[in-house]
Chains A and B, each alone.
Chain A
Amino acid sequence: MSAVKLLLVCRHAPYGNSLARSTLDTALAAGAFDMAPTLLFMAEGVLQLLPEQDPTDVGTRNHRKVLDSLPLYDIDQLYVDGAALAEYGLTDMPLPEGAVVVDGDGMRKLLQAADHLLGF
């Protein structure tokens, strides 16, 4: 479509409401329109990255599996709020391939570099 740099900010835990899923749907749609977005997982949003999610009992699709399919849509710019990881005790968690942990300064730079930002 054009070379607009789109940043999606993912701030919600994966289950309980559908905002996390809506963010990923937007990311996939952007990928389909050749405007692969950058994703920033911050605050509760880092919980979306937890490996071995089993949502069978809540009757929804596995969020991490959707995340793992992002490279198929050329979405490979993933950034993760390091302070949030620490807050949830997840510093040693295996992140999706290529995901980069950033500090507050790194997040500010990402926000500044984006032409458009969709915050969920």
Chain B
Amino acid sequence: MKYALLVLAPPGSASYSALHFARAALERGHSIERVFFLDDGVNNGLDTTVPPQGERDIPALWGAFARETGVELVLCVSSAVRRGLLDATEAQRHEKPGPTVTEGFTIGGLGLLLEASVASDRVLTFGGQA
């Protein structure tokens, strides 16, 4: 089965579930077309996050996942820049001090979510239900 994941939840249990799901799916021989982070979900890619002692560094865990598996992690550009998540290009464009996106994530448009949706058998959404 080919999956696309949509993460709306900020770093926390729902986004951690998404990461677990992604790893478990790959282990069972499924594929992950792309993980798309939208709305508060983009905070999963914030490199300047410092988790309290004893808690998980979720952006770093996602970054490691991308490095190990090659799965693409994309932050929605409009959700990202308004929350201070900038890659080198966006930081320069908006004249901000520097990039803040964790290595392993890229910034892209919503078209990448739709493209992944079309290419996948299932789209799974994590978070969003308040």
Report Cα–Cα, A6/B114, bound state, in Å.
Answer: 9
Query: Smallest distance from the beta carbon of A1 to chain B beta carbons, Å?
Result: 6
Query: Smallest distance from the beta carbon of B114 to chain A beta carbons, Å?
Result: 5
The one of B38, B115, B117, B128 in contact with A6, judged by C-beta atoms closer than 8 angstroms, is: B117
Q: Is the interface of A mostly helix, strand, loop or mixed?
A: mixed
Q: Which residues of A contact B125 (CB under 8 A)?
A: 118-120
Contact B128 A119 (CB under 8 A): yes
Query: Smallest distance from the beta carbon of B17 to chain A beta carbons, Å?
Result: 15
Contact B111 A32 (CB under 8 A): yes
Within 8 A of B (CB), among A89-120: 116-120
Please classify how large the interface on chain A is, using the bins under 10, 10 to 19, 20 to 34, 35 or more: 20 to 34
Q: Which residues of A contact B79 (CB under 8 A)?
A: 18, 22
Q: Does B98 reach chain A (CB closer than 8 Å)?
A: no
Q: How many residues of B contact A (CB 8 A)?
A: 21
Which candidate, A23-31, A64-72, A74-82, is the interface stretch facing chain B?
Answer: A23-31
Q: Which residues of A contact B114 (CB under 8 A)?
A: 1, 6, 26, 29-30, 33, 35
The one of B40, B113, B129, B130 in contact with A26, judged by C-beta atoms closer than 8 angstroms, is: B113
Contact A17 B130 (CB under 8 A): yes
Report Cα–Cα, A120/B9, bound state, in Å.
Answer: 11
Query: Smallest distance from the beta carbon of A21 to chain B beta carbons, Å?
Result: 8
Contact A19 B123 (CB under 8 A): no
The one of B38, B39, B118, B128 in contact with A4, judged by C-beta atoms closer than 8 angstroms, is: B118
Q: Does A56 reach chain B (CB closer than 8 Å)?
A: no
Question: Which residues of A are interface residues toward B (Cβ below 8 A)?
Answer: 1-2, 4, 6, 11-12, 17-19, 22, 25-26, 29-30, 32-33, 35, 116-120
Question: Which residues of B are interface residues toward A (Cβ below 8 A)?
Answer: 6, 8, 38-40, 76, 78-79, 109-111, 113-115, 117-118, 123, 125, 128-130
